[in-house]
Amino acid sequence: MPDPDRGPLRGIVKYNPHLWGDDELRSIFVARNRELAELLDRLRQTATDIVPQHVLIVGQRGMGKTTLLRRLALAVRDDPELSRRWIALAFPEEQFTVSTLAELWSNILDALTDTLENEGTPQAELDRLDGEVRRIGALPPLEREETAIGLLGDWIDQHQRRILLLIDSTDLLFDSLGGPKEGKRGLKAGAASLWRLRKTLTHHSGFFWLGASYQALESGHLYSDAFHDFFELIELRSLSVDDMRQAMLALARTFGAGQEKPGEAAAQVMARILDAKPERLKALRNLTGGNPRTTVMLYEMFAAGRQDNLHADLKLLLDLMTPLYKTRLENLADQPRKLLAHVMEHWTPVATAELAEVSGIPATTVSGQLARLEAEGLIEKTKLPGRRRAGYQVAERFFNVWYLMRYTPRRIRQGLIWLIEFMRLWYGSDELRAFAGERSDSEKACPRTRRLNSDHPFPITNHAAYQALEHLADLASSGDTWALYKLQKQARECHDTGLGPALAELMAQSAHANFLKPIALALRAAAGEAEALDGIPPELKIMVEEVMRDILTRGSSQPEPDFGKITEPENNS
């Protein structure tokens, strides 16, 4: 493991992946290889005289958009054939100085000269371009824009190399270009700029815009007309557990993991750490949303070699993410920060009207602020149960988890705490069941049924069934794996006999309802109540879907696990 105060991981990886060296980037980049290969194929297959289909990479914060653009630029430079035909221009994640098209094209010219210098272009050629850039900078805005495009076109024709524009945060850039200036005239001028940009990209085969965005541009009301259906979208989805594992092994090979030197030995050490308690990575993947940036943090945590449980892991990860998340909150103005805090406190998706009521901010103002938070990739729309209008939830899920665990009282974060405990038991159960002993089948939680009258069959529970459920729930929520296994078994039996919703209702009435919620919702969904999954946090939805798969695929008719002669656990009730 590198020295924590001076090693490359702590100093660079955390918040500045753009500072990775080329060799580090080649070694570390494993999670988005499929997307990288697809984009490189597009470049190879795009004929010289054909206007390319421009592309927008869409993904939440931390999903690897910036790193993918950087890796693509490096891959173009590494490939002799591609570098002969294309020159990849990279830009800062946010171009703060750009608010007009003239400024954008000036930035592109500067990026071209910087890239040519890195390629070893003769100084005379660089001086000539620098002189042209200075001359263009003195022209009026519209003339500067047209002249810059002309200069770039001449360079493309002269060198027979097309320009690959790797524009990060394309949505925010377009917002600056097309957003309202001063009054109606300014708004029209901004929209006209976007239409001129579209015209250039549509008719000039020398430019390939390959951008990144928090969202599809159609959701932006100011620039949706100019760029409606213009870009082909490539969505960066959450990493799977296996994706995260492979990324952490790649980090170990590059930075080391409990080894003085990186390499395959360090990767083997990391593999042993991950395999020792596989439930750690499975549960943390659900809580972090499969976020590549958070995966880097997990690597640092696991590489320290501590064999902690999920609760200790979570506490440390929350601490590691605090500088980033705290800065993100502090950079917001008062009103959007207050609304974002209310969205996070609610945890489940929340409606605009409810946010207006709880925040004391007028609904019209709330709508505008939520639109801005959505444009910045901080929140996203999602379905609310029983409503036509969408609600809002935090887009980066671990940001929400961090806020709940750091700023809210236990009353608010209680549901999340019980979900974490459920995850710990659920993901550890495969390994721990071998140590559990079968007990008597007398502790049945499945409710019995009787017919109240000939027309209205109604499932009811007797006192013994309720007490059995409470006993199992109390044991399971205290960490008894056998009890969780029995709850799974009873859920399958009830579903098989058509009594799943009745057991779900009984669980909802339990004193341990928060802990039992994944099973209760899974029983409802397995019985055909699709709306049971609407309006719940993604972290909970993942667990509900996993429990539902267990109920539907295993069934109560499956043979019992072979516990052999293992001694039965003590009753810790």
Contact 131, 125 (CB under 8 A): no
Please state at what angle helix 310-330 crosses helix 397-407, rounded to 10 degrees.
100
Q: How many helices (H) and strands (E) does the chain have?
A: 25, 9
- What does the pLDDT average to over 498-503? 91
User: In 3D, which of 167, 159, 228 has the Cα closest to residue 195?
Assistant: 228
Mean per-residue pLDDT, 198-206? 94
- pLDDT at residue 501 above 80? yes
- Average the pLDDT over 529-544 and give the result: 91
Tell me the pLDDT tens digit for each residue of 79-113. 999 999 999 999 877 777 788 899 999 999 999 99
Q: Is the pLDDT of residue 251 over 60?
A: yes
Indicate whether 569 pLDDT > 70: no
Measured distance CA(491)–CA(488) in Å, rounded: 5
Angle at 331 between CA 328 and CA 333, to 5 degrees: 125
Q: Assign 210 to helix, strand or coil.
A: strand
pLDDT averaged over the chain?
A: 83
Q: How far is the C-alpha of 100 from the C-alpha of 352, rounded, in Å?
A: 33
User: Which residue's structure tokens are 């080329």?
Assistant: 22
Q: Can you state the percent helix, strand and coil of the chain, rounding each to 5?
A: 60, 5, 30
Three-state SS at 476: helix
Give the confidence band of 221 by pLDDT, cuts at 50, 70, 90.
Answer: very low
DSSP collapsed to 3 states, 88-127: EEECCCCCCCCCCHHHHHHHHHHHHHHHHHHCCCCHHHHH
Cβ atoms of residues 488 and 500 within 8 Å: no
pLDDT at 32 > cutoff 80: yes
Least confident of 52-56, 251-255, 511-515: 251-255
Given this model, what pLDDT does residue 167 score? 94
User: Token pair for residue 401?
Assistant: 């988890």
Q: What is the mean pLDDT of residues 190-200?
A: 88
Summarised one tens digit per residue, pLDDT across range 238-248 is 999 999 999 99
* Confidence at 147, pLDDT banded by 50, 70, 90: very high
Between 233 and 304, residue with greater pLDDT: 233
Residue 222: pLDDT band (50, 70, 90) is very low
Q: What is the mean pLDDT of the segment spanning 170-197?
A: 71
Tell whether the model's pLDDT for residue 192 goes beyond 90.
no
pLDDT of residue 259: 59
- Cα separation of 64 and 62, whole Å? 6
Above 90 in pLDDT, residue 55? yes
Between CA 322 and CA 402 the distance in angstroms is: 8
Tens digit of each residue's pLDDT (9 = 90 or more) over 318-330: 998 999 999 999 9
Q: Which CATH architecture has domain 332-406?
A: Orthogonal Bundle (1.10)
Residues 6+ away with beta carbon under 8 Å from 412 = 345, 347, 404
Work out the percent of the chain whose per-residue pLDDT is above 70: 82
Residues 419-465 pLDDT 10s:
999 998 888 765 444 444 443 343 445 554 333 233 333 344 456 77
pLDDT(289) > 70: yes
Partners of 379 in beta bridges? 394
Residue with tokens 């609610």: 346
Q: Does the pLDDT value for residue 8 go beyond 50? A: no
What is the mean predicted confidence (pLDDT) over 249-262? Answer: 75
What pTM did the predictor assign?
0.79
**CA–CA separation, 153 and 207 (whole Å):** 9
Residue 234 three-state SS = strand
- Range 504-533 average pLDDT: 93
CB 17 within 8 A of CB 31: no
Into which CATH architecture does domain 32-235 fall? 3-Layer(aba) Sandwich (3.40)
Higher-pLDDT residue of 197, 19:
197
pLDDT at 25: 85
In Å, how far from its chain's centre is CA 278?
21
pLDDT at 151 > cutoff 70 = yes
Higher-scoring residue by pLDDT: 450, 412: 412
The better pLDDT of the pair 310, 432 is held by 310
Q: Choose the weakest-confidence range: 202-206, 391-395, 396-400, 453-457.
A: 453-457
For the segment 122-150, the average pLDDT, to the nearest whole number, is 92
Angle at 206 between CA 102 and CA 67, to 5 degrees: 80
| pLDDT at residue 568, rounded to an integer | 35
pLDDT level of residue 218 (50, 70, 90 thresholds):
low
Q: Of residues 204 and 3, which shows the higher confidence score?
A: 204
Cα dist from 273 to 305, 328, 490, 564, whole Å: 7, 32, 34, 28
Q: Would you kindly state where each structural domain of the chain is located, as residue ranges?
A: 32-235, 241-327, 332-406, 412-554
